[in-house]
């Protein structure tokens, strides 16, 4: 075995593996350098998603020829004047980006300080190929071409120019949000994509996020124990299938930190389905000594001295804002409802969208066969199930109206003063049970229903372990359990709010919940989570026929229950079709 010191060119290429994963990461480093240099305007040009060209031109401090040489050396930086790593205010501090990028591309560095001439240095895959005078305005301009051309292993992992472009745009957006006081111009394949003037942070965020956040967003501004949080998040009903519109910053540094992403999820838990994601731009300010930024080569993760305080601020702050917003809209029309009902579609399109009956045309069967009876019965299952109330002239002024009937044993149809209301009975009831449990918990008293005969539930041993470990918390929710052998749990009492329930199914679901939650959650959050699972088991199913009195009771309870406008998965629990919309549907308008 012979150990050798690696040549610096190879060292740089190894570092490049961490720092420049793809064009977007090179672009990010270059824009960060431009920001650190105090630029007022940054111009970015990309060709083919940055695979052919990344150019970043700034009007910052510039560098002298000597400084340019140093800048291209590994571990050379102007950003750590006093050898400390604990008060870093600049984006950069590792002195790695330029040499790393230069080792895997053809890099041209032009720079000029005020009052002097410009200079150019050209490096090809880590080897200096020439230098000389250059003419440019004060500042720095860097061109990166043929990135990864000689690193086939890396090239294989790159996406199409489209995909790389998307990542580049994302990187620019994050930095542009971090520094709203700087002007940004972005061109891709000769097309102007962004042109951002210096402005305030909220204005910059508004320019870069979905315009609909205007109506569907909530402003955040809170503080606790010296930590501050500002920004904007979407209402739970305004969500996305991907978590790609979440912009998080710690002391104005864009991060993709697991803790922060998890806290954001935590705030929306039981307001939004698990596979849906809120939109957010959140700016966290933390005293410098409370956070370590030197934990990741690309500087996108940080470490907090007190992670629980950070999580608490985010979950608590967002939760309070979301609750307040939902209270306001509880008796108003659902945010999602107009989207479902009012469309700009033409009359013809609307008519053609009217769904055809779900049941297929019955197959031909010999007369007298029981199959016919079955199919006929199936048809009736979908007919209105409850007796309709006769329409009366005077409609009492309930926001959700008076129940008029039930459709498909799943939806309650009600008449309100200003239109027709349709309620998803399971979704709505599930929410009510959850809120009831939560209120009882806050009041300190959850009624429990002792079982006449304690029930023994058999589960996997690890599931039993989890249930046993959580037995105190479950007890607080009215679910009394006890270990009963390696693979069984004894259930002595269930929450009264639940009524008669499938105890085995409930415990199996709870074990799965607990497995997923792991250890990182506060007791409060765990209780919330477990309550949601219990609520789901205790609520009226779709398919259950309700009496008119039951339906009205459900509507009245919804009106006075916070957050009842959406189910535990973030879908609306009811929609309203206003009189005007009805008239439109029938062409009366
Ligand atoms: N656009 C720029 N304008 C002025 N100076 C720059 C610019 N880009 C890089 N530099 C100088 O080059 C040095 C090395 O840059 P880099 O390799 O990115 O490391 P770091 O940013 O961590 O210091 C920086 O510390 C800075 O002094
Ligand atoms: Mg840098």
In tens, the pLDDT along 357-371 reads 332 322 222 222 333
Contact 412, 551 (CB under 8 A): yes
Torsion angle defined by CA atoms of residues 499, 505, 508 and 509, in that order, rounded to the nearest 10 degrees = -70
**In sequence order, what are the residues at sequence separation of 6 or more whose Cβ sits closer than 8 angstroms to the Cβ of residue 226?**
287, 290
Closest Cα to atom 8 of ligand 1: 33
Ligand number nearest to the C-alpha of 81: 1
pLDDT (tens digit, 9 = 90+) per residue, 290-313?
A: 998 877 877 888 899 999 899 999
Count, in order, helices (H) and strands (E) of the chain.
20, 22
Ligand number nearest to the C-alpha of 139: 1
Mutate to test the pocket of ligand 1, among 29, 66, 78, 140 (most ligand atoms within 8 A of CB): 78
Closest Cα to atom 21 of ligand 1: 92
Mutate to test the pocket of ligand 1, among 39, 55, 92 (most ligand atoms within 8 A of CB): 92
Ligand number nearest to the C-alpha of 73: 1
Contact 313, 227 (CB under 8 A): yes
Q: How far is CA 50 from the centre of its chain?
A: 27
pTM passes above 0.85: no
* β-strand partners of 124: 106, 127
CA distances from 529 to 55, 270, 368, 526, 570 (A): 48, 7, 52, 5, 14
Cα–Cα nearest to 175, from 36, 16, 15, 23: 36
- For 158, phi and psi rounded to 5 degrees? -75, 155
Cβ–ligand 1 distance for 35 under 6 Å, the answer no
Q: Determine the atom of ligand 1 nearest the C-alpha atom of 99.
A: 17
Q: How far is CA 337 from the centre of its chain?
A: 21
pLDDT tens digit at each of 589 positions of the chain: 688 888 877 777 777 777 788 999 999 999 999 999 999 999 999 999 999 999 999 999 999 999 999 999 887 788 877 777 777 778 888 888 999 999 999 999 999 999 999 999 999 999 999 999 999 999 999 999 999 988 887 788 888 888 899 999 999 999 999 999 999 999 999 999 999 999 998 899 989 987 778 778 899 999 998 999 999 999 888 888 888 889 999 999 999 888 999 999 999 988 888 778 899 999 999 998 899 887 787 788 889 999 989 999 999 999 999 888 876 544 334 433 333 232 222 323 323 333 333 323 222 222 223 333 333 333 333 333 444 444 455 556 788 888 888 888 889 999 988 888 999 888 888 888 888 777 777 776 677 888 888 889 988 888 888 889 888 888 887 889 999 888 899 999 887 766 667 788 788 888 877 777 665 555 566 677 777 777 777 777 777 788 888 888 888 888 888 888 877 777 788 888 888 888 888 888 7
Contact 56, 34 (CB under 8 A): yes
Cα–Cα nearest to 275, from 304, 239, 250, 311: 239
């Amino acid at each position: 075995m012979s150990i050798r010191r690696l040549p610096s060119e190879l060292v740089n290429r190894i570092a490049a593996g961490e720092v420049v994963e793809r064009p977007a990461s090179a672009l990010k480093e270059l824009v960060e350098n431009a920001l650190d240099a105090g630029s007022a305007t940054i111009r970015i040009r990309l060709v083919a998603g940055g695979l052919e060209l990344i150019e970043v031109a700034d009007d910052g401090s510039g560098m002298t020829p000597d400084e340019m040489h140093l800048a291209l050396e590994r571990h050379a930086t102007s950003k750590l004047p006093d050898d400390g790593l604990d008060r870093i205010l600049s984006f950069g501090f590792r002195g790695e980006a330029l040499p790393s990028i230069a080792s895997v591309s053809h890099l041209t560095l032009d720079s000029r300080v005020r009052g002097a001439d410009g200079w150019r240095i050209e490096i090809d895959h880590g080897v200096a190929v020439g230098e000389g005078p250059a003419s440019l305005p004060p500042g720095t301009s860097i061109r990166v071409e043929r990135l990864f051309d000689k690193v086939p292993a890396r090239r294989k992992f790159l996406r199409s120019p489209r995909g790389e472009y998307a990542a580049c745009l994302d990187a620019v957006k994050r930095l542009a949000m971090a520094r709203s006081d700087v002007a940004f111009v972005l061109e891709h394949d000769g097309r102007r994509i962004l042109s951002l003037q210096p402005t305030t942070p909220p204005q910059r965020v508004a320019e870069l996020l979905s315009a609909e956040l205007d109506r569907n967003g909530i402003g955040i501004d809170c503080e606790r124990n010296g930590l501050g949080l500002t920004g904007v998040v979407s209402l739970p009903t305004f969500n996305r299938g991907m978590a790609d519109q979440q912009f998080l910053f710690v002391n104005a540094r864009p991060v993709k930190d697991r803790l922060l992403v998890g806290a954001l999820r935590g705030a929306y838990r039981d307001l939004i389905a698990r596979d849906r994601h809120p939109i957010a731009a959140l700016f966290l300010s933390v005293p410098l000594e409370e956070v370590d930024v030197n934990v990741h080569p690309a500087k996108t993760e940080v470490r907090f001295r007190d992670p629980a305080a950070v999580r608490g601020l985010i979950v608590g702050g967002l939760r309070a804002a979301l609750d307040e917003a939902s209270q306001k809209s509880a008796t108003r029309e659902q945010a999602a409802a107009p989207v479902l009902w009012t469309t700009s579609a033409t009359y013809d399109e609307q008519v053609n969208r009217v769904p055809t009956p779900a049941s297929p045309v019955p197959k031909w069967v010999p007369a007298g066969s029981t199959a016919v009876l079955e199919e006929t019965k199936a048809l009736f299952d979908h007919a209105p199930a409850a007796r309709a109330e006769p329409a009366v002239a005077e409609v009492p002024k309930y926001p959700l109206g008076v129940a008029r009937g039930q459709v498909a044993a799943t939806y309650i149809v009600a008449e309100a003063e200003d239109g027709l209301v349709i309620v998803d009975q399971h979704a709505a009831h599930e929410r009510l049970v959850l809120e009831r449990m939560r209120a009882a918990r806050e009041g300190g008293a959850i009624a429990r229903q002792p079982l006449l005969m304690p029930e023994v539930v058999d589960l996997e041993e690890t599931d039993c372990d989890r249930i046993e470990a959580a037995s105190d918390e479950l007890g607080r929710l009215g679910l009394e359990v006890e270990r009963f052998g390696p693979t069984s749990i004894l259930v002595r009492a269930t929450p009264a709010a639940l009524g008669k329930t499938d105890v085995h199914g409930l415990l199996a679901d709870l074990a799965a919940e607990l497995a997923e939650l792991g250890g990182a959650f506060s007791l409060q959050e765990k209780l919330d989570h477990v309550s949601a699972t219990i609520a789901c088991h205790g609520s009226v199913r779709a398919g259950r026929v309700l009496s008119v009195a039951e339906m009205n009771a459900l509507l009245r309870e919804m009106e006075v229950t916070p957050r009842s406008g959406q189910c535990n998965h973030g879908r609306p629990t009811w929609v309203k079709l206003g009189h005007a919309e009805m008239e439109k549907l029938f062409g009366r308008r």
